[in-house]
Amino acid sequence: MTRQIIPVTPAAQQTAIDYRALDVERDHSGTLLDGLQRPLRDLRISVTDRCNLRCTYCMPREIFDENHTFLPRSELLSFEEIERLVRQFIHLGVMKIRLTGGEPLLRRGIEQLVEKLARLQTATGAPLEIALTTNAVLLARKAQALKEAGLKRVTVSLDGLSDVTFRRMNDSGIDVATVLDGIAAAQAAGLGPLKINMVVKRGVNEHEIVPMAEHFRHTGIVLRFIEFMDVGSSNGWCMDDVVPASEILGRIAGRFALEQVEPDYGGEVAGRWRYADGGGEIGVVASVTQAFCHECTRARLSTDGKLYTCLFAHNGLDLRDPLRRGENERVLTNLIAGQWGQRGDRYSQLRQEASAQPARKIEMSYIGG
């Protein structure tokens, strides 16, 4: 397709964005598109590279041990810097922010960042949706404050209901009850609809699929099963460890009748299913066996201010340096638009070819899951 420069929308004009200097494609409505015609809609922000668990699929202890060097505080984006960058992403079409990590609740004063972002509106004047993904170890004590700061939704990572399985996955002394207390606190605070993410790894926790489904039925919580992915370069991924979405659904359907549900919106990562008896809904994220790259609308901002356009990326665009040099909004927004405009990422669709020529990928704890 021949690219053309389309006049700037009124929302973008408010920040004096100079698209004349860019080869940026937009659709008929003025929406910024990447090289595969995908709009920019979601931004995931890693607010810390630290975590209080050592999950084997994310931060294996043999790599992230007591000798591992985390980023010094001076290299992390400040809340004011995050807010300023988010404003530029909004002008380019972002409607939803998800705060991640590491473990985002380890970032001191995280409620203050939520409060800053909750004041912002999308380019159409709608409230900006603010969500957060957490392991819930600290959620019981923070849920109410997060809600009062303006957080809308929480997604909790929980990979099993038995302490033995849970600790085998997260390699820590934390028990399941701590996470369940956090989930209960989030529900009580009104942080919903609440979702639970369960990463399923062959030979480790697939026996917990049905018990997890049984536990969260009739609770109003959406349980999502995630195929074990080759994120980063330290988790020892191989295809033999993947429990395919078809098997996950088969196990649950053997116990409860399921009906497929249409996606809520374009680019939704989880296939949706509901219990035929009205017991609620589950989701399956099948990025290994059923790649959905063609619908991906997500960008990621690392803890130290680098923009990544794929979870499986190798390199990112440094936004912290121009930010701290005092560059104006036009420059920052043009940098973001230029990076998105040339985006052609579709790793999951090309996974087999990528495996044949492996390259070191950035770790999930650094850019957020």
Beta bridge partners of 223: 196, 282
CA distance 65 to 37: 41
Q: 231 or 119: which carries more pLDDT confidence?
A: 119
CA distance 328 to 90: 16
CA distance 222 to 213: 10
CB proximity list for 304: less than 8 A, separation 6 or greater: 71, 75, 76, 77, 320
Where are any strands of DSSP class E within the chain? Answer: 25-26, 32-33, 42-46, 96-100, 129-134, 153-157, 195-200, 222-227, 258-261, 271-275, 281-285, 298-301, 306-308, 317-318
Average confidence score pLDDT of the chain: 87
Half-sphere exposure of 61 (CA within 13 A, CB side): 12
Instruction: Please give the pLDDT value at position 15.
Output: 38
- 8 A C-beta contact, residue 3 and residue 313: no
44-75 pLDDT, tens digit per residue, is 999 999 999 998 888 889 888 888 899 999 99
Please give the full DSSP string across 68-82, using - where no structure is assigned. --PPPGGGSPPHHHH
Instruction: Please give the pLDDT value at position 2.
Output: 32
Which CATH number applies to 10-367? 3.20.20.70
- Domain positions in the chain are 10-367
Instruction: Please give the pLDDT value at position 25.
Output: 60
Confidence label for 26 from pLDDT (cuts 50, 70 and 90): low
Rama region for 365: left / alpha / beta (φ>0; ψ in -120 to 50; rest): alpha
**DSSP H or E run through 246:** helix 245-253
Region of poorest pLDDT, from 10-14, 90-94, 197-201, 355-359? 10-14
- 8 A C-beta contact, residue 52 and residue 105: no
Instruction: Please give the pLDDT value at position 27.
Output: 55
Residues 275-310: b if buried by 16+ CB within 10 A, e if exposed: beeebbbbbbbbbbbebbbeebbbbbbbbbbbbbbb
Instruction: Please give the pLDDT value at position 353.
Output: 56
Instruction: Please give the pLDDT value at position 229.
Output: 79
pTM of the predicted model as reported, rounded to 2 decimal places: 0.87
Tokens of 21: 């200097």
263-301 pLDDT, tens digit per residue, is 776 667 788 999 999 999 999 998 888 877 888 899 999
CA 298, 22, 36, 351 torsion: positive or negative?
negative
In this prediction, residues 6-35 reach a mean pLDDT of 51
- Inter-axis angle of helices 245-253 and 209-216, nearest 10: 60
Instruction: Please give the pLDDT value at position 23.
Output: 53
Measured in Å, how far apart are the chain's first and last C-alpha atoms?
32
Region of poorest pLDDT, from 21-30, 134-143, 254-263? 21-30
CB proximity list for 271: less than 8 A, separation 6 or greater: 245, 260, 283, 284, 285, 286, 290
Region of poorest pLDDT, from 142-151, 192-201, 214-223, 264-273? 264-273
Q: 232 or 240: which carries more pLDDT confidence?
A: 240
Tally of CB atoms within 10 A around 26: 22
> Quick one: which of 236, 258, 177, 166 has its CA closest to 204?
166
307-345 pLDDT, tens digit per residue, is 999 887 888 999 999 999 999 999 999 999 999 999 987
Residue 243 burial class via C-beta count within 10 angstroms: exposed 0-12, middle 13-18, buried 19 and up: buried
User: Residue 117: helix, strand or coil by DSSP?
Assistant: helix
In this prediction, residues 218-242 reach a mean pLDDT of 83
